[in-house]
Structure 1
Amino acid sequence: MTSTRSFDGTAHGVPSAYRMAARPAAAPVVAVMAPASTAAAGGRASRSGARSVVALLALLGIAAAVAAFGSLISAPAIAGWYSETRTPMWNPPNAVFGPVWTILYTLMSVAAWLVWRSPDSEPRTRALRLYVVQLALNAVWTPAFFGLGALVGAPGVWVALGIIVALDIAILATIIRFGEVSRIAAGLLVPYWFWALFATTLNAAIAVLAR
């Protein structure tokens, strides 16, 4: 017999055999928790090594395809109607855009790769979905601005302005979601967001001046 006390201080006798038999109840918890940690480790392992390199190259390739598509659409317009369009005084030389976008697409791809490499989770899934959304808006903006601008003039530029504002919001949302998974990945997208905001001011000014 052992003696225990209740909340009111009253002593009660408890058989020692009963006290010893109650202890093993905590053991199954370890068995339940083990598969979760094993699955997480397996997820990390499956996204390392050669597969990780392939994923990075794929993300870089997708970004390069978006950039190439934009160049094919914009090149004729830059030599045509855009060269005759009034632009704001802070509009940089056309030669600046190519190198800047190359750097930004690279940073963007690396950021997405860092998030992709993280363990499976709902924040990771949401972050990658938003990345796809902003990349799609990015791809749509170029034909909207340069294509519609060439076809219908000012109305097309105003349509492009609506798209790039949506892109600004999507990039910010992506940064926030990336931050839930990797702060480094979120930081890599900040220059991209600043440049998109700058491009938004150019789009807005050109739309106003084109009226």
Structure 2
Amino acid sequence: MEVGPPSIGKLMSYNRYMENYVYYSELLKPSWAPPSWIFGPVWTVLYVIIIISFGFVLFKYIKKQYKTGIFLPFFLNALFNVLFTPIQFGLKNNFLASIDILLVLGTLIWAMKAIWPRARWVALVNIPYLAWVSFATTVQLAITTLNW
């Protein structure tokens, strides 16, 4: 528990959160876009899935049990996933965010296909991530179109 005035970092973080919230709330969105409060709980679950599957593949890659062809799509997926927020909310660039989320979706499908022969459970555990990213891609493409 903190006592005393909030730190400058916390104030800046809260300010950035509010700026992002205002930015997202002002965008034109399709009627079927999810409410903004749902993103936190969904991504909490999805990041657990991502960490488990990426961690497993990374461990096997470091142990030289998996080749680059299996590791690369997981690495690129994590990279594109991490880049989405700075592109969408930092640059406020819906077009680049659309390209990025298409890359997230494409690398996820590639990763699931690459891991299937070796560890099917990794592909299967990523089905909720695939479902959400597929849905999020349609939302982002609609947002980009509506705000062009």
| Contact 1:73–1:147 under 8 Å retained in 2 | no
TM-score (norm 1): 0.57
- The runs of at least 4 consecutive aligned structure 1 residues that moved more than 4 Å come to 71-74, 116-119
1:137 aligned to which of 77, 80, 85: 80
Superposed CA offset, 1:68-102 (max 9, x none): xxx98972443322221211111111111111111
- Residue 102 of structure 1 is matched in structure 2 by 44
- Residue 85 of structure 1 is matched in structure 2 by 27
2:117 aligned to which of 173, 180, 194: 180
Superposed CA offset, 1:133-179 (max 9, x none): 11000011111112222xxxxxx101110111111111111111121
| Contact 2:70–2:111 under 8 Å retained in 1 | yes
Matched, 1:201 2:138: yes
DSSP 3-state at the match of 2:29:
coil
Q: CA RMSD in A?
A: 2.3
- Residue 4 of structure 2 is matched in structure 1 by none
Give the number of aligned pairs: 134
Larger RCO of the pair (alpha carbons < 8 Å, separation 6+):
2
Q: Cα distance 1:73–1:138, how it changes in 2: closer, same or farther (>3 A)?
A: farther
**Which amino acid letter does the alignment assign opposite residue 80 of structure 1?**
V
Partner Cα separation in structure 2 for residue 195 and residue 185 of structure 1: 16
DSSP 3-state at the match of 2:91:
helix
1:162 aligned to which of 88, 96, 99: 99
Superposed CA offset, 1:153-206 (max 9, x none): xxx101110111111111111111121220001111121122111111111111
**Which amino acid letter does the alignment assign opposite residue 177 of structure 1?**
A
| Contact 2:54–2:75 under 8 Å retained in 1 | no
Partner Cα separation in structure 1 for residue 15 and residue 97 of structure 2: 14
- Structure 1: unaligned runs, 5 residues or longer: 1-70, 150-155
**Which amino acid letter does the alignment assign opposite residue 75 of structure 1?**
Y
TM-score (norm 2): 0.79
Partner Cα separation in structure 1 for residue 58 and residue 21 of structure 2: 39
Partner Cα separation in structure 1 for residue 27 and residue 59 of structure 2: 45
Q: Cα distance 1:74–1:96, how it changes in 2: closer, same or farther (>3 A)?
A: farther
Identity %: 28
Partner Cα separation in structure 2 for residue 210 and residue 105 of structure 1: 29
- Residue 15 of structure 1 is matched in structure 2 by none
